[in-house]
Amino acid sequence: MGTPQPVVPALERLHALPDVELVAAVTPPDRERGRGRQPAPPPVKEASLRLGVPVLQPESLRSQRVRDQLTEFAPDVIVVAAYGKFLPPPVLELPPHGCLNLHPSLLPRYRGPSPVATAILESEDITGVSLMLLDQGMDTGPVIAQLQLALSGDETAGDLTDTLFALGADLLADSIGPWTRGELSATPQDDSLATVSRKLERTDGLADWTLPASTLARRCRAYTPWPGLYTHWQDRTIKLLEVTPLNEQSTPGQPGTVHSGPPDAPIVVSTGDGLLALRRLQLEGRRPVSAREFLAGYPDFIGSVLGDHQTI
């Protein structure tokens, strides 16, 4: 059971294991996407069809019809990875070896929907991936195995998600056989150490120029690819695709003031602490460009004050 592209490696690893029969994949229904609003399949569906694996796309797992379909497959174990839906008790209780979940954090830290972005926002040096046995809570079940990953400090949430689920695919492939043979045990989480991440909102990406430049740079990485870091200029939205804090620089003008910077950082913005270099930008309706290209088209950008009073 899964949805996005980052979890496809787990599907592929399971399919390739000689002692595993992948009997079905469960993924959400096709959704309209893009400017043409054409139905597009989830990446897990595309990968499953390529591998010849039957696909189910229920709106919910709560209907008796869907439960009957799952029962007909008689799964020994269900693997869940970024599926996006809670599993009701009858589904949790269906496979004799339980429902296993790949979660991209070192549980019990960062339970919930946004563990990767939260690890970046919190300036973690180490994160990882956990293989856990699902229960009725949100990422509260006992942990079967974990892998750690040291962070360099320049990862985006998108890149880090890909890396963690690739590690998770290896962890799953190494663990599923021993788990079903009774050679691994699950360790209850220490709830006293638990932290919970919240669901990201579109408005989280709005740049608050009173924050330090280093915080805004972390937000840019944590919110890539969504919701992104963005600001407003002349009633238009600008996506800030790549930024760098220049904390050693003084902070002239009010927060949000745009200045001309050095040759390697031609656009800098005053923040609550330090300057933030804008290296790649995208004005709404336009393609992404470098700071130098942006200034060539909009030289009056220098001297303006970016703000959040306009509507999105």
The secondary structure of residue 300, as a DSSP letter, is G
pLDDT digits (tens, 9 = 90+) for 57-105: 999 999 999 999 999 999 999 999 999 999 999 999 999 999 999 999 9
Confidence of residue 308 (pLDDT cuts 50, 70, 90): low
Confidence of residue 298 (pLDDT cuts 50, 70, 90): very high
Entry pTM:
0.95
Q: What are 147's strand-pairing partners?
A: 129
Per the document, the length of the chain is 312
Q: Which H or E run includes 242? A: strand 236-246
Task: Please state, in angstroms and rounded to a whole number, the distance separating the CA atoms of residues 105 and 267.
Answer: 35
Cis peptide before 212 (omega within 30 of 0): no
Q: Which H or E run includes 15? A: helix 8-16
Task: Please state, in angstroms and rounded to a whole number, the distance separating the CA atoms of residues 116 and 137.
Answer: 19
The answer to whether 265 touches 244, Cβ cutoff 8 Å, is yes
pLDDT digits (tens, 9 = 90+) for 5-54: 999 999 999 999 999 999 999 999 999 887 778 899 999 999 999 999 99
Task: Please state, in angstroms and rounded to a whole number, the distance separating the CA atoms of residues 250 and 229.
Answer: 23
